[in-house]
A and B are shown apart, each in its own frame.
Chain A
Amino acid sequence: MACFIVTATEAVVVSAVEKLEAKKEVKSVEVGTGVEAVKIPLSRKLKWLRNMLWGGVVLLAFEHVWHGEVTPWFPFLTAMSNAEDAAEMFREMGTVGVSMAALITAVWGGMCVAANAIVKRPASDKSEHETA
């Protein structure tokens, strides 16, 4: 009904945090307190989460328009037209919406762990794989 609103909210927050973090990183590089070059900056990792969240939100919003659950006129969500549907919508946001946001964040966490491991992997691994 409107489960994508939960992820949209997370996407807004992540976008803001990412911008702040990017500014902080630029400042730390200018001052000369930058972290080692091999480490992936947090702002870059947050960008992955931001893109995944916005990507999902845009395509799911399209699906909701397709099913007639989102309209271009007020109140924009057809479920808001009566109390019963609104209650069902909020219940869905609390269950499906929160689960969507949690799973995307969990997948992103896994991506960050994997990316750190790949970056730290010794360069000789490549030639080993090529000969295997």
Chain B
Amino acid sequence: MTLLITVFAAVFATVKWYNRKDDSMRLGILLFLYWGASIMWLVDAIFEYAELGAEYFTPALEDMLNDTFLGLSVVALGLVIWIVRLLILDPKGSVKAALTGKKA
């Protein structure tokens, strides 16, 4: 479930990046965060499948809920990393403008 949620986040971030008007939102970092994690969890899933077989696809409800919660938390963490980086880099000068009271 964590892998699935991260893959959806990666695809969504990629679509948003592809349709960007300019690079001021720095969406690129989100792609790499989510795709990197997705690839790593894919390998994890392959090894788990090799160990468990078909049982891998029928997880217990409690495990599924925990994995869903983890997946959503991972997406949230990725978004927090992206937004903090965006505010620090401040490509549009909005933060600086807010701090100095001048228009960006």
B32-57 interface with A by 8 A CB criterion = 32-37, 39-44, 46-47
Interface of B is mostly: helix
User: Hey, which chain B residues are within 8 Å of A96, CB to CB?
Assistant: 43-44, 47
Are A95 and B74 in contact, CB atoms less than 8 angstroms apart? no
Contacts of B46 in A (CB 8 A): 99
A66 to B2, CA, bound (A): 12
Q: Is the interface of A mostly helix, strand, loop or mixed?
A: helix
Report yes or no: B37 in contact with A55, Cβ–Cβ below 8 A.
yes
Q: Does A104 contact B (CB under 8 A)?
A: yes
Q: Count B interface residues, CB 8 Å.
A: 24
Contact-residue bracket for chain A = 20 to 34
Docked Cα-Cα span, A3 to B39, in Å, equals 13
Residue among A4, A52, A107 with max Cβ neighbours from chain B (10 Å): A52
- Say yes or no: A100-B32 contact (C-beta < 8 A), given A59-B77, A62-B73, A95-B47: no
Whether a CB of chain A sits under 8 angstroms from the CB of B27 is: no
Chain A residues lying within 8 Å of B15, measured Cβ to Cβ, are: none
Q: In residues 13-71 of chain A, which contact B (Cβ within 8 Å)?
A: 48, 51-60, 62-63, 66
Identify A103's interface contact among B29, B43, B74, CB under 8 A.
B43
**In the bound complex, do residue B36 and residue A55 qualify as a contact, i.e. CB atoms below 8 Å apart?**
yes
State the B residues within 8 Å of A (CB): 2, 6, 28-29, 32-37, 39-44, 46-47, 70, 73-74, 77-78, 81
Residues of A within 8 A of B (CB): 3-4, 7, 48, 51-60, 62-63, 66, 95-96, 99-100, 103-104, 107
